[in-house]
Amino acid sequence: MILQSDGIKPIYVQIAEWIENEVISGSFTTDDKVYSQYQLAEMFNINPATAAKGLNILVDEQILYKKRGLGMFVLEGAKEKILRKRKNETLKGLIRELVVEASRLGVEEKELLQMIKEARRKHDGSD
């Protein structure tokens, strides 16, 4: 992953999302130790405090937990929590934007649903 420093999304948020993606993909599972702030800082050439801020977001969201002196670890149920969060926040936000844009373009509901089904078929067929 290459972090985007274009100012749209803070680096620490990108770090948190990257770790979430690692949990979703199965690279990290329950009770696995994740990268330290210093490892992340070295991997992405960022300040360790920025990396720590990304990790702390995940602690606050109960995705990770701290073991004093040992590091950060994946909480049980983290993957499901991330998927639920993304479904409820990210996906619904994208759908709202899609519906607004479709409305602007005069795309009827039936046509929009057909476009979504078609995109899903293409995606499912290419995996």
32-79, pLDDT tens digit by residue? 999 999 999 999 999 999 999 999 999 999 999 999 999 999 999 999
The answer to whether 82 touches 23, Cβ cutoff 8 Å, is yes
Check whether residue 68 and residue 105 sit in a common domain: no
2 in a domain, yes or no?
no
Q: What is d(CA 76, CA 69) in angstroms, rounded to the nearest whole number?
A: 20
Range of the domain at 104: 79-126
The answer to whether residues 88 and 119 belong to one domain is yes
pLDDT (tens digit per residue) in 74-92 = 999 999 999 999 988 888 8
**What domain count does the chain have?**
2
pTM given for the model: 0.75
Q: How big is the chain, counted in residues? A: 127
Structural domain includes residue 3: no
Are 68 and 20 found together in one domain?
yes
Average pLDDT of every residue of the chain = 92
